[in-house]
Every structure is written in C-alpha cells, then in structure tokens.
Amino acid sequence: MRNVSIVNVDRGAPSLAQRTYLIPIIKGLAVTLRHFLRNLFGQRDVATIQYPEVKREYSERLRGRHILTTKDDGSLRCVACYMCETACPADCIHIEAEEDPDATVEWEKRPLVYEIDLLRCVFCGYCVDACPKEAIIMSRQHEMAFDARDQAIVGIEQLKQKKPIEEEDIGYRPYF
C-alpha cells in the first residue's frame, strides 16, 4: 500500500481585490466596452449581420424544410414504402398509402397522405438518407413561423416540388 502525505500550502490571506473579484470584473467590462465601441463605429469584422435585411449564404447541404420530388409528368416519385417514416427518430412523418392506378407495375403504391410535423422534426435528414427513390430531399428553407400547431403539419401540397429541381433552393441530398 502506498503512503500518501498531505501538504498544507500557506498562500497567505487574499487581498481586497481578490476578495471582491474586482480585477476580473474590470477586465470583463473592458472587453465589453471594447466590443461596444467597435460595433458602434461600424468596424468591418463585426460578426453580426443586419438580419432580416441581410441574409447569410448557407451551405448547399443545409438541412431545411423538405421537398417531395416529382417525375417529369408531375406525379410524386414517392412509392409510399414507409422507409422514411420508419427511420424518423422524431416520429413526425405520417404516411397513408394507396394503390397507384397509373402504375405500370402491379401493386405499386403512392402516398394518399404524406404529412410531416415540422414542430417535431429535428431536421436530421435520416428520412432523406433512408429513401430509396430520392423522393424526399431537403431544401435550404429554414425560416418557418407558425401561429398554431396545426399549421406546422404540412402535407403533399405544401411539400411537393413546385419548380424544376435545378430552380428549387436545394439543400441536403445524400448523393450530391
């Protein structure tokens, strides 16, 4: 067994400045004053921007609001396979499937209902990763405000791709 000895170190009584924490407070106030004056006189290296008049350019892999992509004929690429709903850790996707009457393959499905609760969504992108058809991707649309909870539950009409894909504000897509 090892012998452990305890040594008491006498550092003397703390000074008045140490007891009142004056020096760190003065240093902190000096930093605040320096930043205040720098920002007030408009230095160029200020990190803040005048949002919403000025907006940042976000990454092309930003995980924003979802887009349900479409085929050339305007119909959804989604085949209602439930992979995205299964992968979603927030349990915020709700799909109801129906048989696709226009399908060339027997029993091919399409979504009758496809809803995402954007207030529950954590924008992780797992649904996009799980999709075998690239039928769901993410946009860079991140400005979302709702007055009521039911406004946050968006369906096919709100999620469906509105423009040619190259004109959409595309965000995260796993293969790009």
Rule CB under 6 A: choose which of 81, 152, 153, 156 binds ligand SF4.
81
Residue 125 binding ligand SF4, by CB under 6 A:
yes
Peptide bond into 52 cis (omega under 30): yes
Spatial distance between the Cα atoms of 175 and 129, rounded to a whole number of angstroms: 9
Residue 154 binding ligand SF4, by CB under 6 A:
no
Residue 159 binding ligand SF4, by CB under 6 A:
no
Query: Which residues lie below 8 Å from residue 121, measured CB to CB, with a gap of 6+?
Result: 90, 92
- The CA-based angle 141-68-72, given to 5 degrees, is 120
Residue 124 binding ligand SF4, by CB under 6 A:
yes
Spatial distance between the Cα atoms of 109 and 99, rounded to a whole number of angstroms: 4
Rule CB under 6 A: choose which of 64, 65, 67, 95 binds ligand SF4.
95
Smaller CB separation from ligand SF4, 33 or 113:
113
Q: What is the size of the binding site for ligand SF4 (CB under 6 A)?
A: 27
